[in-house]
Amino acid sequence: MSSNRRTFAIISHPDAGKTTLTEKLLLQGGAIHLAGEVKARGAARRARSDWMKIEQQRGISVTSSVMTFQKDGVVFNLLDTPGHEDFSEDTYRTLTAVDSAIMVIDAAKGIEPQTRKLFEVCRLRSVPIITFVNKVDREGRAVFETLDEVADALALDVCPMSWPIGMGGIFEGVLDFATQTIARPEGDSREFLGKRDPVTDGAIPADIAEEIELAQMGYPEFDLTAYRNGDLTPVYFGSALKNFGVAEMIDAIARYAPPPRPQPSESGTIELDHPEVTGFVFKVQANMDPMHRDRIAFMRMVSGTFKRGMKLTPSGLGKPIAVHSPILFFAQDREIADTAEAGDIIGIPNHGTLRVGDTLSEKNTVRFTGLPNFAPEILRRVQLKDPTKTKQLRKALDDLSEEGVIQVFYPEIGAQSIVGVVGQLQLDVLISRLEAEYKVEAVLEPSPFDTARWLKGSDAALRTFADFNLSNLAKDRDGDPVFMARSAWDVGYQQERNPELTFSATKER
Ligand code: G4P
């Protein structure tokens, strides 16, 4: 079955230009009203300092979590991967719901830590990557240096698809290899306003012509299969701010990025033309009002055609729920506004019945696999101010971990729960929500552990391991065994000594 949907995310390190590129993509895709929201969100993010502001920001980001636009018959679903301080497990999980990603890197800075982390998550699921080297209107590194860094750091083949004609003060445009045209800066702002010159004699300075010739010999040609397998990344140069390379991004996603992928399930791969509506929840977001526990579950559609009012059965619940007021993310086309199909995202309001990782389907015959939890990077012990509130705390931690705000671990020895997150902001959110919603006052203390690994192995192997390492063992929310490690070294050491166990940095539900 062919599909005109392209569901993708943008990954980058803060400040590389993700917001700017998003805005420009939406502008070109005609979703201008949304572009303002992206900006508003940026402003809110910078101004945010307390819980109310976090909530406001979340309220806005419900609408900008999924941005849909349409161009030349292709429907683009751009999923926001929260970055910056609000970098969290949500960011990782969103990447499980996309079919491809654009990796934005700053021409002057190259691959930065957060880019690399997000890239690793993409690699886990072989999500293909298109690279956008941004800010060529400013001084940057040599083009070769950037290309080689991407190739080496990420162990990918790189294929330059365009080449900047100078950078910074001597920036004269971007040469697109496919069309053999040069996009030129114009006016005082030196923006790209649509002027493209054909490549004629002397249009490219001699030193750059030489570089290009070397590049064409030194790097592989674009190969669609290698890209779609996640082995090769096409690299485009541009300036989101000045509009260079933006049209090329849309074109590349439409042309090369994969349509919605079939998804693995317990009963085999579910193809797009599977005869019922199926999808999985990749994110749950609390609503604006912290006093009302209603939430929005974001479901990625895998098959079928969803219509308003349809009944779907969540795998975790077993009985159908009517989806009366779904949030569909509007493209300009009315038809799309009323229905959703494979690759699209639906927001489903609920009161906590839907969990991250749940499958929804019409007949409750499908259960998707492969939606992972990610090992936390920050672990803290939760200390109650009022020790009589243990029960409330446990309920709160269970709820919040279901929602994906935190992960919770209950150590085999000792009464204090340990919470794990991948981003600092999650801890702030935890403390504010414990107080506001559960009336539980708590403080977070350093934990002796640095990271956690899910353990798998035979019962006998797990028992033997427990005999020697009980003080490093905990159970997660589902009661599964977790090794709490003091360091990455500790993980390696135990792995070596216990080859019959696997120490996993992700857990599939
Ligand atoms: P992010 O979402 O990845 O964090 O990056 P964002 O788009 O917010 O961009 C970070 C900064 O880089 C912004 O400047 C933005 O204007 C600038 N920028 C983005 N793309 C380009 C580009 O192609 N060329 C140049 N020269 N600059 C670019 P700022 O001053 O920090 O933010 P603002 O106050 O302008 O919003």
Quote the ligand 1 centre to 165 CA distance (angstroms).
21
Ligand 1 and 86: CB distance under 6 A: no
* 129 found inside a domain: yes
Quote the ligand 1 centre to 84 CA distance (angstroms).
13
**66 or 352: which carries more pLDDT confidence?**
66
Tally the domains of the chain.
3
Spatial contact of 131 and 150, defined as CB atoms under 8 Å apart: yes
Same domain, yes or no: 503 and 381: yes
C-alpha pair distances (Å), 44 with each of 274, 415, 436: 42, 39, 21
Same domain, yes or no: 31 and 51: yes
Same domain, yes or no: 305 and 411: no
Q: Which residue CA neighbors atom 26 of ligand 1 most closely? A: 135
Percent of the chain with pLDDT over 70: 87
pTM of the model: 0.81
Q: Which residues contact 80 (CB under 8 A, 6 or more apart)?
A: 9, 22, 61, 64, 65, 66, 67, 94
Which one of 232, 258, 284 terminates a domain?
A: 258
Ligand 1 and 24: CB distance under 6 A: no
Question: Which ligand 1 atom is at minimum distance from the Cα of 244?
Answer: 23
Q: Which residue CA neighbors atom 6 of ligand 1 most closely? A: 17
Residue 131: strand pairing partners: 103, 235
* 143 found inside a domain: yes
| pLDDT in the model for residue 81 | 82
Which one of 212, 243, 258 terminates a domain?
A: 258
Candidate from 53-62, 186-195, 479-488 with smallest mean pLDDT: 53-62
| pLDDT in the model for residue 84 | 57
* 99 found inside a domain: yes
Same domain, yes or no: 18 and 95: yes
**What is the mean predicted confidence (pLDDT) over 215-240?**
96
User: For residue 293, is pLDDT > 90?
Assistant: no
**What is the mean predicted confidence (pLDDT) over 487-492?**
90
pLDDT digits (tens, 9 = 90+) for 44-62: 443 332 333 443 444 334 4
Q: Which residue CA neighbors atom 32 of ligand 1 most closely? A: 15
Same domain, yes or no: 408 and 382: yes
Same domain, yes or no: 356 and 402: no
pLDDT digits (tens, 9 = 90+) for 346-388: 888 888 788 888 899 998 888 888 776 777 888 999 999 988 8
Q: Which residue CA neighbors atom 9 of ligand 1 most closely? A: 17
Mean pLDDT, the chain, rounded, equals 86
* 174 found inside a domain: no
Ligand 1 and 475: CB distance under 6 A: no
Same domain, yes or no: 289 and 348: yes
Which amino acids are annotated as binding site for GTP, given as ranges? 12-19, 80-84, 134-137
Same domain, yes or no: 296 and 157: no
The ipTM estimated for the assembled molecules is 0.97
Question: Which ligand 1 atom is at minimum distance from the Cα of 13?
Answer: 3
* 199 found inside a domain: no
* 213 found inside a domain: no
Half-sphere exposure of 436 (CA within 13 A, CB side): 18
Same domain, yes or no: 289 and 159: no
Candidate from 409-418, 423-432, 472-481 with smallest mean pLDDT: 423-432
User: For residue 93, is pLDDT > 90?
Assistant: no
User: For residue 92, is pLDDT > 70?
Assistant: yes
**What is the mean predicted confidence (pLDDT) over 504-508?**
81
Same domain, yes or no: 465 and 348: no
CB atoms within 10 A of CB 17: 23
Quote the ligand 1 centre to 17 CA distance (angstroms).
5
Which amino acids are annotated as binding site, given as ranges? 12-19, 80-84, 134-137
Q: Which residues contact 268 (CB under 8 A, 6 or more apart)?
A: none
CB atoms within 10 A of CB 193: 13
User: For residue 33, is pLDDT > 90?
Assistant: no
Quote the ligand 1 centre to 80 CA distance (angstroms).
17
- Tell me the C-alpha distance between 387 and 494, whole Å: 35
Amino acid at residue number 286? A
> Comparing C-alpha atoms, which of 382, 425, 443, 439 is closest to residue 53?
425
Residue 89: domain span: 5-163+221-258
User: For residue 83, is pLDDT > 70?
Assistant: no
- For tokens 């190739």, the residue is 151
Same domain, yes or no: 292 and 390: no
* 24 found inside a domain: yes
CATH of the domain at 30: 3.40.50.300
Which one of 258, 284, 312 terminates a domain?
A: 258
* 452 found inside a domain: yes
Quote the ligand 1 centre to 136 CA distance (angstroms).
12
Same domain, yes or no: 254 and 322: no
User: For residue 215, is pLDDT > 80?
Assistant: yes
Paired tokens of 84 = 């910056």
pLDDT digits (tens, 9 = 90+) for 301-351: 999 999 888 999 998 677 888 887 787 776 544 445 578 899 999 888 888
> Comparing C-alpha atoms, which of 337, 321, 372, 318 is closest to residue 68?
337
- For tokens 């679903």, the residue is 77
Most informative mutation of 10, 11, 13, 15 for ligand 1 (most atoms within 8 A of CB): 15
Q: Which residue CA neighbors atom 30 of ligand 1 most closely? A: 15
pLDDT digits (tens, 9 = 90+) for 118-138: 898 888 788 999 999 999 999
Percent of the chain with pLDDT over 90: 55
Q: How confident is the model at residue 494 (pLDDT cuts 50, 70, 90)?
A: very high
